[in-house]
Structure 1
């Protein structure tokens, strides 16, 4: 708090002092026996005013540390929630300190309880995902064992539904791990074509059923990434392309290298994305006009997770689309220039 704001808060005290000074002057002026000269009265008023100003300055300086303490906590914003008030100088300040510190204690207790509940929920989700994968794997094995006895259409429907369940289960698992990403990743050099081919093999049923033509262009470039998380990202993108591409359509993956880094582009000739939806496709829960169609079942989590995981890995995921013509999603793996810059600086 500045000194002028402090004076504004003390305006009642200043008015009271001025009123008392005026009353004193009036009483002295009414004395019938001894009339005080006006210059003496003015000198007395000036002297008392100086003493009063000194009192205000001394009071402000005495409480200045308190005001600085409050101001520093206001500037700290969220960090101030862990910063207790200290060193009260008056009984009024002591009451404020007690009240604020109690609120901070209640906040910390509520936050700790919320974190425990959140951790319990994450552990339950992780446990549920691992438990549900056992009967899901058993159903997939049964489906494979009976696929020769079932008509092709029914067999595909069974495989499609099981794959979709597995896909949703994976989304739940990866969503629950977003906050604990730093504990579950390993950055190494990986060949992009190896991961892409694995994703395509795992989605081979959809490629064959819809007769989607797949093409992979470019050299087998290597990037620094986490194989498991990148596989999940590419699987989400390619699954979306398969979902929104008509039979006999095309999905093309292009690998290239630019000054910024390695680019991986996945292009389809599907239904495309409306311009008003394009800026929101990475928002959590957003499905857009395409996801609201009866023939398409969208959760609004796939691209959101792909975007979040890309950023955590240091990659950049962007999208371009033309309605009724197709969509291109580009994943950029920027070059790590820190060590090169540091080496060049040392050479200078």
Structure 2
């Protein structure tokens, strides 16, 4: 063989001088160099693209943040100024300027007088005048947004009651370099370090295996010759002295004809039509969670895996070789298998079947695949239990529907009362205007609480909910809740009472989250108490512990529901609450907040006799506050 092999020795002319690239290495060297160039170009492009994208994204996010801040700030200050709360409006301007890093934030009148400014030294008006006009100032009552030299200028008009129009002016910096800081350059440096490391690793790898690449290059030349039509083994063989790769190549050539005959499609046909009862393939099929059935054109079961036996509740030995109708008790499945095996169905067909097993309803997904072979038509059946997927999808749909309804109600009320104010204009009576503004304010707080609940659920699922430690006066929170829920209780003719001791210990925790928990408990009590009922809220102070009990005379909660009412999105199965809206989040959030504070919530309820929810929190023994 060596006499007819390709001569791989260097020519006499090349022996005196050492070649940098060995024979057969030039192709691989070129490929390695190309990979290095592509790697460097890719890293450079990624670095430039990352910086540009980050700068553009931050600028857009900054513009959206400033615009949204201006809109919210204009609405809030307009309401405060209409109510004569000038100090609160000024404080809100200062807080917003500090929080969002605004270059300028102020409220001005048409004559240029500064009503409120983030810099208190620029304010030149102590109190609002009773009336003013803006007719001499063009476009003073029009909202504008403009950019100039890296700055964003946002102006929003505000209708201050019947006194006149004021304008909120905000200027914020949009220069992305200010926001990028050193993080972008650190990222660029990281890309450079990674690129240098990759180049070094590529070079070391190439040098490590350089001596073994000659055989690969020579074998490549043999393959090119084969591609041009050369079939003689003697012409394609290489010298054995090039290494193990050359020896293996020569052996491969010697056995090529035998291997080509052995590697026919027969192996694939045997896998489809032969006995699959044992071997690695059968073990692999048993390891999958889906059930598998192979049925021949006579509707006899050729193979089943373990999962199919479990789903169909029939032993594998009882199914093998038997007719489908004799062992499968699902009529829809047997019909699909017969139609597919007979060739009537030529495409994949999927069905979902509900089954009632041991008083539990499950959903079984059945997919029937036609398989065509030389021995006639066969059908491959895939069985999958999708019960949990359907339960999750149903819970998600119910939550979306309930949340949509919860959001629609306050939005509808806000829209109706706003239309009343807009349509009647100056002719609205003071009592009607006050009522409209009060309803809008209440519904806004309701929306805020609902959105806050949803955000809190997201924090809980992400495991990122945290509490801010501060001194909290529970009596103050309960007084605010009493003022908010008294009108709705009176509307339903529900007697609501708050029994708060004159002195209460101070609770260390997050005021907003504790307020949310108490709102949910009191709001649920009023919601699920019928007309003419009663709701009692009482506070019990013990050593190092404070308890808030919310008792109602409502419909009560069944024992089986009491175990799950604190689960997210769960609502009791009582048919009487079907017409009462709710998201199923309130109690879950309330208990989560209580436990984050080191406390808990317990429930004691009986059907048609009412419920008592007790919120327990740790309190400071050495501090107390008097109820005002």
Q: Which TM-score applies when normalising by structure 1? A: 0.49
Greater relative contact order, per chain length (Cα 8 Å cut-off, separation 6+): 1
More helix by share: 1
Which is greater in Rg?
2
